[in-house]
Structure 1
Amino acid sequence: MTAPNQPDPWKSFRGVMAGTLILEVIVVLLALPVVSVFHGGLTPLSSGYLIGMAVVLALLSGMQGRPWALWVNIGMQFVLILGAFIDVTIGIVGIIFLLVWVLIAYLRSEVKRRQDRGLLPGQQ
């Protein structure tokens, strides 16, 4: 008799990262009307920055299987935080999502640690 297929914890982890990026795309695009109403309105720079960030984040959501994906996601948060020079609310969104990505990085290290010790539910 063969052993049943073991669940892949990294497959679901990639889904969490891709889903978080899609959520971030939605939030970044929802910043467009906020920026247009407050702080002097939309400029070509602020519009291009927000739409460009949304496109890059959406493209990154399809690359979450790569080993470098988590670190690029965290790096993109610093690019988003730099948007505070365009509008403060963009920087605030970047800080919030940076905290989310730091938590995801911690969870990744915890799953890796448990996997190395054989403590995941599928390994017992």
Structure 2
Amino acid sequence: MSEQSGPREPGPPGEPDQRSGLRNPLAAARGLGAGTLILETIVLLLAIQPMRMLGGDLSGATIGVIVGAAVACVVLAGLLRHEWAWYCAAALQGLLILGGFLHWGLAGVGLLFGLAWLYALSVRRTILSPPKREGPPPAD
């Protein structure tokens, strides 16, 4: 076991400093996001029957929205290496909340996973942000 003492030396020029200490922080962030989206897919698909039992009419349009959202989650989980996919996944949570007009259960799933997605984005920002510099500001 090695212990680090003192401040960490910056890496080679052109290579980002890793504040998190992870070997591959990009892959770690993608893994968290993909795991969240795959879990959401499973919850959406398994929620069809309880939504039918709890909330009255479950129309074909509602089931179509659920299956479409589940497919979108799987596709976005595979595309998280692109910056835009993170924003599309956040928009998907908002669309699920709007799906509450079709069935209140969709709004519940959208709200729950919207909060989970906010957490995933917060963790991503934390592990990918550059380290804060200590000491006096550089002289101009």
When normalised by structure 2's length, the TM-score is: 0.74
Match of 2:131 among 89, 99, 117: 117
2:86 matches 1:54: no
Provide the identity percentage: 33
Letter in 2 for 1:75: A
**Separation of aligned partners in 2, 1:42 and 1:51:** 13
Q: Confirm or deny: 8 A CA contact 1:84 1:91 kept in the other structure.
A: yes
Q: Is the 8 A contact 1:31 1:90 kept in 2?
A: no
- Give 1:74's match in structure 2, choosing from 90, 101, 115: 90
Please name the residue that 2:122 is paired with.
106
| 1:78-106 per-position Cα deviation (integer Å, ceiling 9, x unaligned) | 01111111111110110111111111111
Output the CA distance in 2 between the equivalents of 1:30 and 1:80.
15
Q: How many residues align?
A: 113
Give ranges in structure 2 of 5+ residues lacking alignment. 1-21, 134-140
Unaligned runs of 5+ in 1: 1-5, 120-124
Q: Secondary structure at the match of 1:41?
A: coil
Aligned-residue offset at 1:41: 3.4
Could you tell me how far apart the structure 1 residues matched to 2:84 and 2:119 are?
17
Q: Which residue of 1 aligns with 2:23?
A: 7
TM-score of the superposed pair, with normalisation by structure 1? 0.83
Q: 2:100 aligns with which of 68, 74, 84?
A: 84
* Rg larger in structure: 2
Letter in 2 for 1:32: I
- Give the AA of the match of 2:110: G
Question: Between Structure 1 and Structure 2, which shows a larger proportion of helix residues?
Answer: 1
